[in-house]
């Protein structure tokens, strides 16, 4: 438990979001990255490598937050004071204390350039997904604009909302997407007669994370941990049971 009584499970995984596992990036994989690869084997390097690298980045930022600021009564009061001026202030402070001017330059690249390119990629992947769904050819500019304009309009609306609120819902949606993609990958690996437990186990874990947060968080259902924890575990076990039933169903048909 957090020193002031707030639960850490499963809030920690939702807070670090992409540093835990990125459903956001997984949705970009089929319309963009997968089309650029020549074989499925390249996915090991591209996708596993990217996620490991992002996890390392998350650990670095977490370590910096723990090491650089004063802790009082188990609470990181020093970091809280800096965050009161906004996340950008905390990022600048960490970079200037660890690497000086070079750190600030790297922060501009990592915190400004990368989100811009991520946003561009997100809109492009969303356009391609919608184009696949509705079978809209994307060779002509006019047909691209048909999908781009409403997508950018939605993005502009969301961009004017409170970032703290948007981040909470984005983070939960991100981890829930990861959960869904992991279950999808598990069924794909099963059908390809490959080791599907490599994704089914983390899929079960992320199901517990996502469902527990949904029942516990104030911005969701807001139940107590006494309710949210067992419900999250039960739902994760239920999803695993459905998956196992689905994998054994074809075998029964053949018998």
DSSP string covering 1-30: --TTS---TTHHHHHHGGGT--HHHHHHII
Average pLDDT over residues 172-180: 90
CA distance 82 to 88: 10
| Cα separation, 104 vs 59, whole angstroms | 19
Q: Copy the structure tokens of residue 217.
A: 């968080």
Among 52, 47, 58, 57, CA closest to 13: 58
Mean per-residue pLDDT of the chain: 84
- The predicted pLDDT at position 249 comes to 73
Task: Decide if pLDDT at 236 tops 80.
Answer: yes
- Decide if 245 contacts 185 (C-beta within 8 A): no
As a whole number, mean pLDDT of residues 4-30 equals 75
C-alpha–C-alpha distance, residues 100 and 186, integer Å:
45
Residue 254 has pLDDT above 50, yes or no: no
Q: Is it true that the peptide bond before 98 is cis, omega within 30 degrees of 0? A: no
d(C-alpha 17, C-alpha 172), whole Å = 8
pLDDT score at 250: 58
Q: How far apart are CA 25 and CA 124, in angstroms?
A: 12
pLDDT by residue (tens digit) across 29-63?
666 677 778 887 887 787 778 778 878 888 888 88
Task: Of 52-56, 140-144, 153-157, 175-179, give the lowest mean pLDDT range.
Answer: 52-56
* Range name among 43-47, 75-79, 142-146, 154-158 with the lowest pLDDT average: 43-47
Give residue 194's pLDDT. 92
Tell me the two tokens of residue 21.
Answer: 């596992």
CB 87 within 8 A of CB 100: no
Task: Say if residue 79's pLDDT is above 50.
Answer: yes
- Checking if the pLDDT of 67 tops 50, the result is yes
238 by DSSP, 3-state: which?
helix
> Which residues, including other chains, have CB under 8 Å from residue 87's CB and lie 6 or more apart?
none
Would you state the pLDDT for residue 4? Answer: 66
Q: pLDDT tens across 115-135, in order?
A: 787 778 778 878 888 888 888
pTM for the structure as a whole: 0.73
């Amino acid at each position: 438990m957090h020193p002031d009584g707030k639960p850490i499970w499963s809030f920690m995984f939702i807070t670090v979001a992409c540093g835990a596992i990125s459903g956001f990036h997984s949705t970009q994989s089929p319309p963009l990255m997968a089309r650029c690869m020549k074989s499925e084997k390249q996915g090991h390097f591209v996708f596993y490598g990217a996620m490991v690298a992002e996890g390392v980045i998350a650990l670095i930022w977490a370590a910096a937050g723990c090491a650089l600021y004063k802790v009082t009564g188990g609470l990181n009061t020093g970091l809280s004071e800096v965050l009161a001026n906004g996340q950008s202030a905390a990022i600048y402070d960490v970079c200037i204390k660890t690497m000086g001017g070079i750190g600030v330059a790297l922060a501009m690249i990592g915190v400004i350039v990368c989100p811009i390119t991520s946003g561009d990629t997100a809109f492009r992947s969303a356009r391609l997904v919608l184009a696949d769904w509705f079978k809209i050819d994307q060779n002509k500019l006019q047909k691209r604009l048909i999908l781009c304009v409403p997508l950018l309009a939605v993005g502009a609306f969301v961009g004017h909302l409170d970032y703290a609120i948007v981040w909470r819902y984005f983070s939960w949606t991100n981890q829930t997407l990861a959960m869904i993609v992991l279950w999808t990958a598990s069924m794909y690996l099963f059908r390809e007669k490959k080791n599907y437990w490599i994704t089914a186990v983390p899929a079960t874990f992320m199901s517990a994370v996502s469902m527990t947060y949904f029942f516990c968080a104030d911005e969701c259902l807001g139940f107590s941990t006494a309710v949210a924890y067992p419900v999250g575990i039960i739902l994760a076990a239920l999803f695993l049971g459905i998956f196992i039933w689905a994998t054994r169903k074809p075998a029964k048909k053949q018998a």
